[in-house]
A and B are shown apart, each in its own frame.
Chain A
Amino acid sequence: MIPITQSLRDDFIRELGREKVLHTKEDLLPYRYDAFALVKGEAGLAVLPSSTHDVSTIVKICNKNGIPFLARGAGTSLSGGSIPLENCIVILFSKMNRILEIDYDNRTVLAEAGATNISISSAVADRGMMYAPDPSSQLVCTIGGNIAHNSGGLHTLKYGVTTNHILAAEVVLHDGEIVQIGSKARERIGYDLLGLVNGADGTIAVVTRALLKIIPKPRNVKTLLAEFGSVEHAGDASSEIISSGTLPAAMELMDNLVISAIEDSIHAAGYRKDVGAILLVEVDGPEDENELDSRRVIEICYRNHSTAVKVAEDESQRQRFWSGRKGAFASMGRLGTNYIVQDGVIPRSNIAEALAKIGSIGRQFNLRIANVFHAGDGNLHPLIIFNEANGETEKAIKASVETIRICTELGGSITGEHGIGIEKRDLMGLMFNEKDLELMRWVKEVFDPNMLCNPCKVIPQGSRCLELIPGLAIK
């Protein structure tokens, strides 16, 4: 680890100006976190660029001195993607949040990487357009971070994730060179370099601008809330909806524990606490198709033993249906002092089996596990409830790893949308063998030969980056 010396700090100040360099202990302390709270990092220095040129200058200084660096948007990563390790320089994007161009003819928006996800949709809302990926943190999280984690959201099922909605990016390479990947042309020709930057957790290059696709907002939306006696019935219903040929815009499943927590919290949405599970389904499209879809969903739910299906009568009821789901994670405080939210994917036909197995993990570790997930694409979010004060942290981490192991055993994946970051780095072995990982290391080396770009994330690196989370490394 190279210490940040006074002369290095002066280099930054000389090139950028004093007001763009943060260095006091108190300025830097809060950068030790993002929304993944199990690991604390430490920032060597934080810098506030206001242009791509500034970013390039910063990266050049870092490269020259062998100092690692990391781009940080709003710090809402759930996998520790924006936690600074190795005392690295944190490049803040909070001042690079402008929307530079709106092109309705080509249906694109050009934005700086620090623009919030919602700001894209807001900018084009009056023309009835939107930017489709909608992570729950969309009011806060930035486009740069969305690209790093290839983020999705509640409506991923129908509309896809970030990589499906980006046409080009301006990036700063490891040596400070500024390059443009992609263009307004919709076809990607040759090797998909843009695809490589997407979901790389910022370990390949620093994204400074992105050209995003915008689409028309659906005119007709119907939101249905179906109650079930058991999670299995709800799971079966969701599978049948998908196989019936209907493609809902969103489909969310919550189990009884989650429902009770929500209803006991400030996010109470009027869900019935005595039901086994709730399936929230949203269908959108042209009016007649919309009508047909919703009728079909209702039919399927009842065929799968739903006890009641409610249709949101107006926008405010629709918002209420969703408000509980959106507050689900935040309501976990009602069940215990701490929680870990996992993020795994299973083939959706295995939902019932996966849930049964997760239930037995809870019993094995004597921990409560609540379940909320994107039923449409099999993206599970088991919430492991524990109490740090009782020394349950390590046990909880072990249990959370077991839930992920189940996902991979069922042929799924270790992350759906939260990224690898720090959290899943040492779990990559569950999905990839040493050869696969070696190949990834090669790719990383091509772009970042000195290993300075967001160090110690994504790929297990051996001795340089030590085990960060006690109990996480798989044996």
Chain B
Amino acid sequence: MVGYNLKNSEPPISMEDGDSRGYGSLRTLQDCVHCGFCLPSCPTYRVLGTESDSPRGRIDLMKAYANGEIGISNSLMEHISLCLVCRNCETACPSGVRFGWAMDATRARLEEEIHRSVTDRISRRIFFSVFENLAVLRTVMRLLRLSNFLPFMRLSRLLGFSQFSQFIPVTQNVLKNSSGFINPGGRLYKADGNRPATRKVGFLVGCIMSTLLADIDHATLRVLNKNACDVVLCKGQTCCGAMHLHEGEREKAKTLARKNIDAFSKYPDIEAIIVNSSGCGAQMKEYGVLLEDDLKYHKKAEEFSSKVKDLSEFLCGSQLNTSFTSLPDMKVTYQDPCHLVHGQGIRKEPREILRQIPGIHLQEMEDSEQCCGAAGIYSVLNPGMSEQILSSRINSINKTGAKVVVASNPPCIIQYSTRFQNTGDSRRVMHLAELLDQAYSS
């Protein structure tokens, strides 16, 4: 009820340069009335039961840090980094606190002040830079595919990257089965001949989606073409920057946002920007928030964001092409990706589409809106907590008897497929686009 005073810690904000430390995003903390309604929604609170690992507790810590009441400490860093930024607490909050914005801004400020070792800094820089240029990323992925990945493991260990090296075997495994990478060089994918092309849309190919999970991108393109869309892979696009933002690399995230805004604005005739990865979609719908103090880009960012549509949102909003050839009977369950349901408020659309595919039986699982523990690169940074969270999801899925888990976000897909692979589980995780693609072509 009685709000905090965040003013004390505010430096003069230069509107010209943009507010790099995200003070605007911290203001939402003042809306918290301590009601505690968010507690049961929080995956880490469910596991640990401690207030500092709950949304309300983290809000208090963020305020205290912003006010200078507490400084950086191991304990603070632990509570902050244990947050998945799943934003489930936002859905639960009756006061409209935008927790995710505040957490992103807090991490950016911590990142500026925290002391990291030299190897740590270098390895972080390398890791994040790889994603800043899709051509570089494709090269790295290609090397990964060719090499026996051992040199990579060694190299990354050498760099103090032991945590990140866990990604490599997983990556390798997924890559083996993946078809050609997608290069967004401005190419146009024409709508399927059978239906008149009525719409032209842009497509964000995505960093992970266009390489590691390129099959899904290919499927998405085919699905859009089947739905009377000319799809253009706008040239100059890059990674959406969500990972950078959530890990405290706010400036880099802004640079990526500006690049994407510039790239897509060269195609004024596209009516929507389609995204098939929820994390990217949520990020791109909030470019306006990220660039709120950037006078040059703010308005452009809002325009850009208003065009961004999740694949399911777009297909549901237009007339879905339902000339399916029936799939073999299949029981599926649906995992709500956090940044689709809590970040974008989309829960009905994917289910509506699933129900229209003949042969598919949707069996809802308990707590489908709970995070699977992947949360970007969280599973690598906090493997213990991630595992515990995932296990409770697996329990819910077990009760449904479903053979396929539908989850339309790269980290969720990797998280589930790794678990299924490691435990010799024959169940599969699929993207909505893959199911649709199969239903159109089978």
Contacts and interface: CB of A to CB of B under 8 A. Distances in A.
A23 B312 CA distance: 47
B218 to A, nearest CB: 39
A266 B345 CA distance: 13
Given A25-B73, A31-B51, A139 B56 contact: no
B50 interface: yes
B36 A337 contact: no
A92 interface: yes
A71 to B, nearest CB: 14
A327 B61 CA distance: 26
A29 B1 CA distance: 18
A330 B60 contact: no
B60 A333 contact: no
A330 B50 contact: no
Interface string A72-96: 0011100000000000000010110
B36 A34 contact: yes
Interface stretch (B27-35, B106-114, B256-264, B432-440): B27-35
Contact of B35 (A35, A46, A95, A393): A35
B94 A94 contact: no
Interface in A14-70: 22, 24-27, 29-38, 46, 48
Interface residues of A, number: 42
A30 B61 contact: yes
Interface in A404-443: none
Contacts of B40: 116, 139-140
Contact of B70 (A25, A31, A36, A393): A25
Interface string B51-73: 11010110011001000001001
Given A29-B60, A140-B37, A330-B95, A75 B51 contact: yes
A137 B36 contact: yes
A30 B2 contact: no
Nearest to A93: B49
Contacts, number: 105
Given A30-B57, A338-B1, A37 B49 contact: no
B70 to A, nearest CB: 7
A94 B1 contact: no
B52 A75 contact: no
Interface in A102-124: 116
Nearest to B51: A30
A267 interface: yes
B131 to A, nearest CB: 31
Contact of B3 (A92, A140, A330, A388): A388
B94 A330 contact: yes
B60 A30 contact: yes
Contact of A27 (B1, B30, B39, B50): B50
B1 A26 contact: no
B335 to A, nearest CB: 21
Contacts of B36: 34-35, 74-76, 137, 140-141
B76 A388 contact: no
A24 B73 contact: yes
B49 A94 contact: yes
B34 A33 contact: yes
Contact of B50 (A94, A266, A267, A389): A94
A339 interface: yes
B378 to A, nearest CB: 20
A337 B54 CA distance: 24
B96 interface: yes
Nearest to A40: B2
Contacts of A30: 51-52, 54, 56-57, 60-61
A140 B75 contact: no
A387 to B, nearest CB: 9
What is the size category of the interface that chain B forms with chain A? 20 to 34
Interface string A321-353: 000000101100100011110000000000000
A37 B60 CA distance: 12
A337 B3 contact: yes
B52 A35 contact: no
Interface in A222-276: 265-267
A356 B275 CA distance: 56
Contacts of A27: 50, 52, 75, 79
Interface string B216-246: 0000000000000000000000000000000
A472 to B, nearest CB: 14
Contacts of B30: 337
Contacts of B64: 29
B13 to A, nearest CB: 19
B61 A48 contact: no
A319 to B, nearest CB: 15
Nearest to A326: B94
Given A22-B50, A26-B76, A48-B49, A330 B1 contact: no
A455 to B, nearest CB: 20
A141 B57 CA distance: 16
Nearest to A97: B49
Contacts of B34: 33-37, 75
Nearest to B73: A26
B46 to A, nearest CB: 9
A137 B36 CA distance: 8
Contacts of B56: 30, 33, 75
B51 A76 contact: no
Contacts of A137: 35-37
A327 B96 CA distance: 11
B60 A33 contact: yes
Given A26-B61, A29-B52, A30-B51, A267 B94 contact: yes
Contacts of A46: 50-51
Contact of A139 (B2, B31, B33, B37): B37
B75 A35 contact: no
A92 B1 contact: no
A340 B1 contact: yes
B441 to A, nearest CB: 38
Contacts of B79: 26-27
A23 to B, nearest CB: 9
Nearest to A77: B36
Interface string B320-345: 00000000000000000000000000
Contacts of A31: 51
B75 A388 contact: no
Interface in B10-55: 30-31, 33-37, 39-40, 45, 49-52, 54
A35 B33 contact: yes
Nearest to A266: B96
B35 A333 contact: no
A75 B35 CA distance: 8
A330 B51 CA distance: 21
24 contacts: A22-B50, A22-B52, A24-B75, A26-B76, A27-B50, A27-B79, A33-B60, A34-B36, A35-B33, A75-B34, A75-B56, A76-B35, A76-B37, A92-B49, A137-B36, A137-B37, A139-B37, A139-B40, A329-B33, A329-B94, A333-B95, A333-B96, A388-B3, A389-B3
Given A76-B35, A329-B33, 7 more contacts: A24-B73, A30-B51, A116-B40, A333-B96, A337-B3, A338-B2, A389-B3
Query: Lowest 5 A-B CB distances belong to which pairs?
Result: A94-B49, A330-B94, A30-B57, A24-B75, A26-B75
Interface of B: 1-3, 30-31, 33-37, 39-40, 45, 49-52, 54, 56-57, 60-61, 64, 70, 73, 75-76, 79, 94-96
